[in-house]
Amino acid sequence: MLLDGGEPLLRKDLTEIIRYAVRVGVTPHLSTNGLLLDCKTVKKLRKAGLQSIQVSLDGAFSETHNFIRGYSESYDSAIAAIQNARQGGLSVTVNTVLMKHNIKEIPGIINLLIKMKVDFYRVASIVPVNETLKKLCVSTQEFKDLLSFLVKSKRQIRDNLQIILPSNKLVYILDEKADSNIMLSTSLTSNIGCEAGTFLCNITPDGWVTPCVYFSEEQFRAGNIRREKLASIWSKSPIFRAFRNLKLARKCMGCSYLMKCKGGCRALAFYFFGSLKEQDPRCWI
Ligand code: SF4
């Protein structure tokens, strides 16, 4: 269970939530911008049962990260948070949201994280839920070049850092031996489409259950846990059923990579092309 934001460290009852999750057998993870993650907080979170944390870092240099985050102390806080989490015994993942402003800095971020002995590095594609974000997306060619670089780095890095790729599906087009050689991010479903609504779901702060964090509009609300049990929403909702029985558009259905790629990210397809059935816009086929 990922406790995400907004910023989860603003919640006064956060340790209570973590303790409860552990008590009922759910492993909690936390994603933070790092601004509030001092040593004392790390200790409190550890004591409550948290074992791993994700910190956002959107640039190798303070100028880039602070510009993207819109706050002048963001970078120093994120770096301090990574150090505090490591020293406090948490497993640390650093996440970069990929965009035009930071694509050239990914190699620099990797070098920095190797020096800081971070455990995992994840590059996530920006999902353009509005027109402004669409302008920040990298091109298909830029994405392909970056994916090649990450696959190569993943094989070459001898230190502890593990790279989690920005697409666990499109990597198959790049490298058909990906199964055995590359640690993929979760790809545990046999359905066409991605993990949204098939392997994972999202619960909004006001209780709405949606197929993933990017599908939060009313049309994707499958039910509310304040009125109905999560298990019942998960198994009975027509919205989840639709995500599990997707028929993709002709380009994907006729593609020889379909059974491995499965069409890629549904949120990217939806926000780029306006349809859940279209291909992942990062696809270069
Ligand atoms: S066309 Fe569709 S199935 Fe084929 S590689 Fe691209 S996104 Fe995947």
Q: What is the pLDDT of residues 85-122, one digit of tens each?
A: 999 999 999 999 999 999 999 999 999 999 999 999 99
pLDDT score of 181 more than 60: no
Atom of ligand 1 nearest to the CA of 258: 3
Q: Which residue has the tokens 């070459």?
A: 156
- 52-56 and 91-98: which strand pairing? parallel
Using a 10 angstrom Cβ sphere, with 0-12 exposed, 13-18 middle and 19 or more buried, the burial of residue 275 is exposed
pLDDT score of 10 more than 80: yes
Cα 68 to its chain centre, rounded Å, is: 18
Element of type H or E holding 62: helix 62-69
Is the distance from CB of 165 to CB of 121 less than 8 angstroms?
Answer: no
Element of type H or E holding 101: none
- CA nearest to 41, candidates 71, 79, 12, 76: 12
Is the distance from CB of 216 to CB of 203 less than 8 angstroms?
Answer: no
pLDDT band at 260 (very low <50, low <70, confident <90, very high): confident
Best residue among 257, 275, 282 to mutate for probing ligand 1, ranked by most atoms within 8 Å of CB: 257
Amino acid 185: pLDDT = 46
Q: Which two tokens stand for residue 274?
A: 């306006």
Atom of ligand 1 nearest to the CA of 251: 1
Mean pLDDT computed over 56-62:
98
- Sign of the C-alpha dihedral computed for residues 235, 236, 241 and 243 taken in this order: negative
Least confident of 4-18, 102-116, 151-165, 214-228: 151-165
What is the amino acid identity at position 188?
L
What is the amino acid identity at position 73?
E
Ligand 1 centroid–CA 283 distance in Å is 6
Mean pLDDT computed over 227-231:
97
Amino acid 182: pLDDT = 52
pLDDT score of 209 more than 50: yes
Q: Which two tokens stand for residue 237?
A: 């909702």
Bridge partners (DSSP) listed for residue 203: 209
Bridge partners (DSSP) listed for residue 209: 203, 223
Is the distance from CB of 161 to CB of 155 less than 8 angstroms?
Answer: no
The SS3 of residue 92 is strand
Ligand 1 centroid–CA 104 distance in Å is 26
Ligand 1 centroid–CA 194 distance in Å is 12
pLDDT band at 176 (very low <50, low <70, confident <90, very high): low
**Distance between CA 281 and CA 129 in Å, rounded?**
14
Instruction: List residues near ligand 1 (CB under 6 A).
Output: 173, 251-252, 255, 257-258, 261, 263-264, 279-280, 283, 285
